[in-house]
Structure 1
Amino acid sequence: MRRLLVATLATALTLAGTGVAAQAAPAPAAPGIGDAYYPDYGNGGYDVSHYDIRLRYTPSTDRLTGTTTILATATQDLSRFNLDFVLDVSSVLVNNRPAAFSRQGDHELVVTPARTVAAGGALTVVVQYSGVPSSKVAAGYTAWIRTPDGALAVGEPEIAWWWYPSNDHPADKATFDVSVSVPDGLEAISNGVQPRPPVRETLGYTRWSWRSLKPQATYLTFLTVGQYDITQDTTADGSPVYNAYSQLLSPDLRDAAQASVERTAEVTDWESTVFGPFPFEARGGVVAPPDTLTFALENQTRPNYSAGFFRRGSNTYVVAHENAHQWFGDSVSVRTWQNIWLNEGFASYAEWLWSEKNDEGTAQEIFDYVYSSYPDDAAIWTTAPADPGVAQLFGDAVYDRGALTLHQLRLAVGDDDFFEIVRTWVAQKKYGNATTAEFTALAEKISGKDLDALFQAWLYTPSKPALASVAAHSAKAAPVAPKSWATINRTHQLLGEH
C-alpha cells in the first residue's frame, strides 16, 4: 500500500498559486467493518496481522487479567479507532505512546492515539486489562461460560469481547499467540500448536502456550480451561493431533466421545480426498464438561464439542461436520455474515458424504428425507439461505436447505464438475473471504451451464422449491431416512450445531 503524508494545517486549503488540491484531514475510523447484519461488529481503519494474547485466569473467582498486543496496518490516515472489548481496561499504548481511551456502547473501546497514524503505517497496540468475564453483558448476553472447574471462551458470532480486544469480524483474519497462566492441575487449551510445553510458574500457576500459524478469524479463536485428559498423536503427514476430554465426563460419555473424536485424523484424511489438502498445521478436538456447552463449534484446528453429542453413543457425524468447517468457514471464511450458508451448508453436506462413504445412506436418500420432512410453511422454506437474516442465522435454511442446494447442484452438473467446483473453491479462496455470488459464478464457469434458475430457487426464494422430476430425484411419498444419519441429525437439531 502506498504511504500517504499526513495533511498539515497549511495544506488543509488548496495550495495558493499551485492548483494542487489539499489532502483530507485524518479522520476517526468507522466503528463497524461494514456488515449489514451486525453494523457495529469489527472496525474500520486498520487491518490486523497478529494478536499476542497473554493472560492469567483464576477459575475460583472468574478473574482474568491480561495484556494483548495487536500488530496491524492503518488503512487510512487514522486519528481514532475502535476495538471490540468488554473487560475493564487500565492502559492502552499505540506505537509505544500512551493513548486516550473511552467506552462507546456495550462493546466498543474507542482509542485515540497520541499521534495520528498515516495510511500504510504500522500500528502496534498494547492493551492491559482485567475483569470478571461472566459479569459482563453485551449484545444482550454473556458469551463466557463458567464450568465447575474452569471456563469456556467458545462462541459464534461473538466471543472475543470477553477475553481479548480485537477487530471482531471474520473479514479481518490474523495469526495468534495465546499464552495463559492457570492454577496448577488445570489445563488451558487453545488453537494450533504448542511452541513450548507447559511451564510451572511461581505461586502455584502453570503457563500454557499456543500458536496459530495460519490466518484465523477472531470467533474461531478459543480458550478452554479446566481439568482435561489429553491424548496426543501425529497424522501420516506429521501434523500434531491434540484431543482433550473433560475429567467431569461420566465413563459412558467419555467412551462415546473418545470413540468419536479420536477418529478426527481419519475423518480429516478422508475429507482431504474430497475437498483438497487439510489447510492447517494441527488437528484435534475438545469435549467440554457435561451441561456446560450446548453446541459444537468449528474452532480452527480444534473444534469444541458439547458432551451432549455423545449421550446416545459415538457420533462421527458431528466430527465430520465440524472438521469440514476447517475448509468451509475457517480457511474460506464469510466476507459478511449474510453468507453463512457457505459455512453451514457445506459442513452439513459433508455429513451426507460421510454417510455415503460409510454405506449408511446415500446423499440422495438423505436429500429425499430432508426435502419431505419439513412442512411447506416451515422456516426452512420461508427463509432464503443466501439472506437468512439475523434471526435465522443458524436456522434450518442455512444448514439443511444449504445442503439441499449443494445436492441439487451436484445433480445438475454431475459428480466430476461438482467436486471440481468444491476443490477449486477451496483452493482459490484459501485463507481468505468469500461471498455467495462468487461461489455461484465459479459453479457456472466450471460447469459451463446457466445455473441461475437453480440458485434462484434454492438460495434466494423464500418458498419450497419444486423438484423438476419426481422420478429423477427418487422421491417417494414418505421417504425413510437412513437410520444412522437420522438419529444423529435429530441430535444436531436438539443441541444446536455451528
Structure 2
Amino acid sequence: MPRSSVAAPFALALALVAGLTACGGEAVHGKPGTAGVGDPYFPKMGNGGYDVTHYGLTLSYDPGHKRLTGTAEITARALQDLSAFHLDLLGLRVSDVEVEGRAAGWSRAGQELTVRPRHDLDQGETFTTKVRYSGVPRTITDADASKEGWLRTADGALGLGEPTGSMAWFPGDHHPSDKASYDITITVPKGLQAVSNGELTSESTKDGRTTYAWHTAEPMASYVATLAIGHYDITRSKARNGLPVYVAVDPEQKRASEKVLGRIPGIMDWEEYNFGPYPFSSTGAIVDRPDDVGYALETQTRPVFPGAPDTVTLVHELAHQWFGDSVTPRSWRDMWLNEGFATYAEWLWQEDHGGDSAQKIFDSLYKGDYYEPVDSSEIWAFPPADPPGPAQISDPPVYYRGAMVLQKIRQLVGDDTFYDIVQGWAAAHRHANADTAEFTAYVEKAAPGKDFSGIWKDWLYGKGKPAHP
C-alpha cells in the first residue's frame, strides 16, 4: 500500500479523536458566542449567542473589609450552537465556574469572562451557569466622569449600573437588550439593611448576620438593578390601588424626605392616568446621603436619590418605570427614549399642577430663557437620537430636546391622539426593548395622514437649532 494511503486514514483518525476530546466525547458543532453585541457606544458590553432569563445572586458583604463574596447562578437559552460564551465581569476574583452542574473551563481578559462548557450547548437549549467569585468591587468612572458600579458609602455600599456598572458586582450579559428576572439574596452584619429591587420575600438573622431575599419577577435590564447596604429607616405602605410601596431612607435624610416621599401614591395615580397601567408589582424609593452618590437613578421599582428629592425629580424617576425600565432601549443610542419621556413627564406634571404649560416650557427653551439650570445653547449641541459618543448619552439634548420632540408630536396630532400614542407605546413594548426607528414607525401608524417628516428631520435627527419652533 502506498505511503499516502496509510497517512490519510491515520490523519483522519487523529482529527476525529481531537474533535471528540474537545467536547467530551461528542463531535464539535458549536462556535463561541461573540464577546459583545456591538453597541455603538459600548461595543464590548453584552454577549452574543445566548439570552439570559434569570439571575440568582447569593451575596455576602463585609463593610469592614469592603469584601463581597458571591455566587451567581445564571439561567439562559442558547441562541446558537455554543462551544464557548462570554460574561461581563470587571475585577473580582473568580474561583470556579460550572455549566449544567459540571466544572467548566474559563479564562479572564479585561471585562470578559470566557466560559467553555465541557459539552457544546445546542441552539434552543436552556442551561445554567454558576460562577463563584469574591473580592473588593470596583467603582467605575464613566466617560462623563460620573461614578457607578460599587460605590462605598458612609455606612455600607451602593450598587448602581447605568450604563456599565453592574459588571462590577455580578457577572452577566450586561447590555440593556438582554433582560431577565432576578432573585438577589444578600447577607450583611446584623443592624444593617440591604435593599434591592422588587419585593422582599424573607429576612432572617443568625450568628450576628442578617440575610435579605429580594425577588423581581418582571424582566429587568442589569443597569437598573441595585443593591443598597447601610442604615435605613424603612417605611412600608400601599398606594390607593393596593400597590406595595417600600421606601428606604438614610436616617440623616428622613425629615427632609418625608413630605415629598409621601406624595408617591398620588404621583403613581397621576402617572398611571397619563401613561397607562404601572408595569411592575411594587414601587418605592431609596434615599442615600448626597455625598454617597452624585445623581438620581431610575433603578427598577425603587429609584435611588442623593438626598431628599424634590417633587419634579421624583416624578421624573418614577416615569422611568414605564420609559426605560419597562420599555428599555435596544441600544444606548436610544437613550432619548428614556430621558426624553421622563423629562416630558416633568413638564406634564407642572402643567397639571399649577405650573407652566409644556408649550411654555418648550418656548422658553427655544428662546433661551428657560429657568432651569441648563445652558440653552447646550440643547442644540447634537440631535437627541444621535449623541456623538458615550460621554454625551446623558447630556442636555437627550433630555430637553428629546422632550421637545414629544411636544412637537403633541402639537401636530392633538391631545387625544398624543396620549393614545404614549399609552399605546408603553403597552406595545411592555417589558421589552425598542429603538428609535420602532418609535417613529409607531407614531406614524397611530396618526395616519399626519406628516412627521419635518419633526424627525429637524428635531430628532437634525443638527443645530431648527429654524422654526
TM-score after normalising by structure 1: 0.84
Aligned to 1:471: none
Q: Does 1:351 align with 2:356?
A: no
How has the CA–CA distance of structure 1 residues 53 and 337 changed in structure 2, closer, same or farther, with 3 Å as cutoff?
A: same
How has the CA–CA distance of structure 1 residues 399 and 417 changed in structure 2, closer, same or farther, with 3 Å as cutoff?
A: same
CA distance in 2, matches of 1:230, 1:165: 29
CA distance in 2, matches of 1:341, 1:79: 37
Aligned to 2:364: 369
The answer to whether the Cα contact below 8 Å between 2:84 and 2:114 also exists between their aligned partners in 1 is yes
Task: Map Cα deviations across residues 208-231 of structure 1 (whole Å, 9 max, x no partner).
Answer: 111001000001110000000010
How has the CA–CA distance of structure 1 residues 264 and 459 changed in structure 2, closer, same or farther, with 3 Å as cutoff?
A: same
The answer to whether the Cα contact below 8 Å between 2:28 and 2:120 also exists between their aligned partners in 1 is no
Letter in 2 for 1:453: G
CA distance in 1, matches of 2:255, 2:436: 40
Q: Mean Cα displacement is larger for which, 114-123 or 273-282?
A: 114-123
Aligned to 1:441: 441
Q: Residue 430 of structure 2: SS of its match in structure 1? A: coil
The answer to whether the Cα contact below 8 Å between 1:356 and 1:362 also exists between their aligned partners in 2 is yes
Aligned to 1:96: 101
Q: Residue 378 of structure 1: SS of its match in structure 2? A: helix
Q: What is the number of residues matched between the two proteins?
A: 438
Q: Residue 163 of structure 2: SS of its match in structure 1? A: coil
Letter in 2 for 1:316: T
Aligned to 1:402: 402
Task: Map Cα deviations across residues 421-449 of structure 1 (whole Å, 9 max, x no partner).
Answer: 11110111111100111111111111111
How has the CA–CA distance of structure 1 residues 455 and 88 changed in structure 2, closer, same or farther, with 3 Å as cutoff?
A: same
Q: Which runs of 4+ in 1 moved over 4 A?
A: 135-142, 374-377
Gaps of 5+ in 1: 1-8, 11-22, 469-498
Q: Mean Cα displacement is larger for which, 216-225 or 439-448?
A: 439-448
Q: How much does 1:258 deviate?
A: 2.0
Aligned to 1:173: 179
Q: Residue 28 of structure 1: SS of its match in structure 2? A: coil
Aligned to 2:452: 451
Q: How much does 1:166 deviate?
A: 0.7
Aligned to 1:491: none
Q: Does 1:245 align with 2:261?
A: no
CA distance in 2, matches of 1:35, 1:24: 30
CA distance in 2, matches of 1:287, 1:330: 19
Task: Map Cα deviations across residues 301-343 of structure 1 (whole Å, 9 max, x no partner).
Answer: 0000011x54xxxx11011000100000000000011000000
Q: Does 1:75 align with 2:74?
A: no
Letter in 2 for 1:351: E
Aligned to 1:378: 377
2:204 to 196, 199, 207: 199
Letter in 1 for 2:383: A
CA distance in 2, matches of 1:138, 1:294: 13
CA distance in 2, matches of 1:450, 1:24: 54
Aligned to 2:229: 225
How has the CA–CA distance of structure 1 residues 155 and 48 changed in structure 2, closer, same or farther, with 3 Å as cutoff?
A: closer
CA distance in 1, matches of 2:386, 2:48: 23
Task: Map Cα deviations across residues 27-84 of structure 1 (whole Å, 9 max, x no partner).
Answer: 1110002312111101001100000001110111110101110010111110111101
Q: How much does 1:135 deviate?
A: 7.1
Aligned to 2:20: none
Q: Does 1:336 align with 2:331?
A: yes
Task: Map Cα deviations across residues 249-285 of structure 1 (whole Å, 9 max, x no partner).
Answer: 3xxxx33322112211211111000010000000000
The answer to whether the Cα contact below 8 Å between 1:376 and 1:464 also exists between their aligned partners in 2 is no
CA distance in 2, matches of 1:432, 1:135: 29
Q: Does 1:37 align with 2:41?
A: yes
The answer to whether the Cα contact below 8 Å between 1:59 and 1:150 also exists between their aligned partners in 2 is yes
Letter in 2 for 1:387: D
CA distance in 2, matches of 1:209, 1:90: 24
Q: Mean Cα displacement is larger for which, 362-371 or 207-216?
A: 362-371
Q: How much does 1:377 deviate?
A: 8.9
Aligned to 2:305: 305
CA distance in 1, matches of 2:386, 2:258: 37
Aligned to 1:493: none
2:219 to 210, 215, 221: 215
CA distance in 2, matches of 1:269, 1:166: 35
Q: Residue 178 of structure 1: SS of its match in structure 2? A: strand
CA distance in 2, matches of 1:290, 1:398: 24
CA distance in 2, matches of 1:128, 1:27: 25
CA distance in 2, matches of 1:373, 1:261: 32
CA distance in 1, matches of 2:199, 2:219: 14
Q: How much does 1:383 deviate?
A: 0.6
Q: Does 1:186 align with 2:192?
A: yes
Aligned to 2:156: 150
Aligned to 2:462: 461
CA distance in 2, matches of 1:274, 1:76: 41
The answer to whether the Cα contact below 8 Å between 1:63 and 1:131 also exists between their aligned partners in 2 is yes
Aligned to 1:162: 168
CA distance in 1, matches of 2:36, 2:44: 4
TM-score after normalising by structure 2: 0.90
Q: Does 1:360 align with 2:373?
A: no
Task: Map Cα deviations across residues 327-361 of structure 1 (whole Å, 9 max, x no partner).
Answer: 00000000011000000000000000010111111
Aligned to 1:115: 119
RMSD of aligned residue pairs (Cα, Å): 2.1
Q: How much does 1:364 deviate?
A: 1.3
Aligned to 2:274: 274
Q: Residue 265 of structure 1: SS of its match in structure 2? A: helix
CA distance in 1, matches of 2:256, 2:404: 29
The answer to whether the Cα contact below 8 Å between 1:371 and 1:404 also exists between their aligned partners in 2 is no
CA distance in 2, matches of 1:30, 1:157: 20
CA distance in 1, matches of 2:41, 2:97: 29
Q: Mean Cα displacement is larger for which, 383-392 or 166-175?
A: 383-392
The answer to whether the Cα contact below 8 Å between 1:243 and 1:262 also exists between their aligned partners in 2 is no
Q: Residue 72 of structure 2: SS of its match in structure 1? A: strand
Letter in 2 for 1:48: V
Gaps of 5+ in 2: 1-14, 17-26
Q: Residue 55 of structure 2: SS of its match in structure 1? A: strand
Letter in 1 for 2:222: T
The answer to whether the Cα contact below 8 Å between 1:37 and 1:337 also exists between their aligned partners in 2 is yes
